[in-house]
Structure 1
Amino acid sequence: MSAAGGPPGVPLDGGARRVLPVGRHALLVEVATAEEAQALHAELLRRRDAGTLPPVREIVPAARTVLLDGLADPHGLAAELPRWDVPPVATADAPLVVLPVRYDGADLAEVAALWGVTEDEVARIHSGIEFRVAFCGFAPGFGYLTGLPERLHVPRRATPRTSVPVGAVGLAGPYTGVYPRSSPGGWQIVGRTDAVLWDPEREPAALLAPGTRVRFEEHG
């Protein structure tokens, strides 16, 4: 038995992934890659919509995990999950959000140097990529967007800023993100959008939800 009082972790794919109990009514599925986490999240949503998933209150993806919370019978689902055939993510039918961006960020020149291109080319390249919200975190409304080719991954700033303005579009490692509010941060800032990422008076409050496709549109 686990320390949480549930079943032991269930290995998936020869031990590469695991299903772990979290308390009495939740499961945490650990996977090997971000792509697997996104695919599993999409499959869980599909099965929930189809009525073939046991009732669950929340399905929360992260970088390499998916949390299922509010399960009446987590033991039964933990036993089933290893046998699931999870297809790759199909993004064509996912909702699309287009964010207008002014590419004038404080780190634009540094990112251009890291990419080996001009500042204008950074805007052209970045706005030409279709991103996908892999998961949300850090602050309400902040989505971690995947889609940058590996050659365009950039490190975080060596010294984080004490204040990054609301709407700042930043890069860090494999991710692109937009700051929903002013806060400290170490991402490389390439531009800014006026889009409202988080509005508690709106339904849903977050503009970017996991699975959403995102494109950035260059504005002067």
Structure 2
Amino acid sequence: MVGRSAVLLEVGGHDEVAAWYAELTRRKDRGELTAVDIVPAARTVLIDGVTNPLEVAETLAKAAEPGRPEKGESQLITVPTVYDGLDLADIAERWNTSPEGVVRRHQELEFEVAFCGFAPGFAYLTGLPPDLRVPRLDEPRVSVPRGSVALADEYTAVYPAASPGGWRLLGRTDLVLFDLDRDPPSTFRPGARVRFEEAR
């Protein structure tokens, strides 16, 4: 339990987080779980706004591990991208290919929104195979432009607003990722699939 109205579920990694997030969301939609928010992270799922956290914790402790949802069931978001990032050549060297090869390989991958954090609308996208992972910059940039498509460790992300950041910049998009006048305001939601394509 976390406080008087929340339960924190700790799991092994992204696959388990995705499975539990989908299962808990289904339970909430069916009226089997009373919660205000279900918030996935890298290795936890927070169930907030429950009326009886002890009962929820005991129920989850006895529950079988849920299976991962089929990827085809989730929303697919396409991100039009101009591949002209400051670190494109560096990424190409690390991937042992050309800048054109980086673009091709990045577009061949399908990513998944694992969780959101850092800033409103900022989503951590999983799907990079181990051989394509790149380290963060040794020193973060003071300002990364809004819409920057970037890589760091096992994640791809798009900066929803200008901010400091230490991710390696691959390109940019004009897609609006966060707008308080929309419902929901964030373009990326946990579980959604994401593909990048060349901007026309």
Partner of 2:4: 24
1:105 matched to 2:85? The reply is yes
Write the distance in 2 (CA, Å) between the matches of 1:127 and 1:84: 38
Match of 1:92, SS state, is: helix
Instruction: For residues 95-132 of structure 1, give each alpha carbon's deviation from its aligned partner in whole angstroms, at most 9, with x where no partner exists.
Output: 11101000110000011111111100111110111111
Q: Does 1:139 align with 2:145?
A: no
> What code does the residue aligned with 1:188 have?
R
Pairing 1:178-197 to 2, within 5 Å after superposition: 178-197=158-177
Aligned CA RMSD, in angstroms, stands at 1.0
Aligned ranges for residues 6-155 of structure 1 at < 5 Å? Answer: 21-53=1-33, 55-85=34-64, 86-155=66-135
Distance 2:55 2:167 in 1: 41
1:91 CA displacement: 1.5
Give the aligned partner of residue 157 of structure 2.
Answer: 177
Deviation by residue 1:27-79 (Cα, 9 ceiling, x = unmatched): 111111121111111111112122222x1000000000000111001111111
Name the structure, 1 or 2, with higher relative contact order (CA <8 Å, separation 6+). Answer: 2
Name which of structure 1's ranges 123-132 and 43-52 shifts more when overlaid on structure 2: 43-52
- The amino acid that maps onto 1:150 is P
Shift of 1:135: 0.3
| AA in 1 matched with 2:133 | H
Q: Percent sequence identity over matched residues?
A: 51
Q: Which residue of 1 aligns with 2:144?
A: 164
For 1:166, the aligned partner's letter is: R
Under a length normalisation based on structure 2, what TM-score does the superposition of the two structures give?
Answer: 0.97
The runs of 5 or more residues in structure 2 that have no matched partner are none
The ranges of structure 1 where at least 4 consecutive aligned residues each deviate by more than 6 angstroms after the TM superposition are none
Compare 115-124 and 75-84 and name the one that shifted more.
Answer: 75-84
TM-score by length of 1: 0.88
The one-letter amino acid of 1:141's match is G
Query: Residue 83 of structure 1: CA displacement?
Result: 2.3
* Alpha-carbon distance between aligned partners in 2 of 1:218 and 1:84, rounded to the nearest angstrom: 44
Point out the structure with max Rg over C-alpha: 1
Write the distance in 2 (CA, Å) between the matches of 1:129 and 1:51: 36
Q: Distance between the aligned counterparts of 2:68 and 2:185, measured in 1?
A: 28
Distance 1:81 1:202 in 2: 33
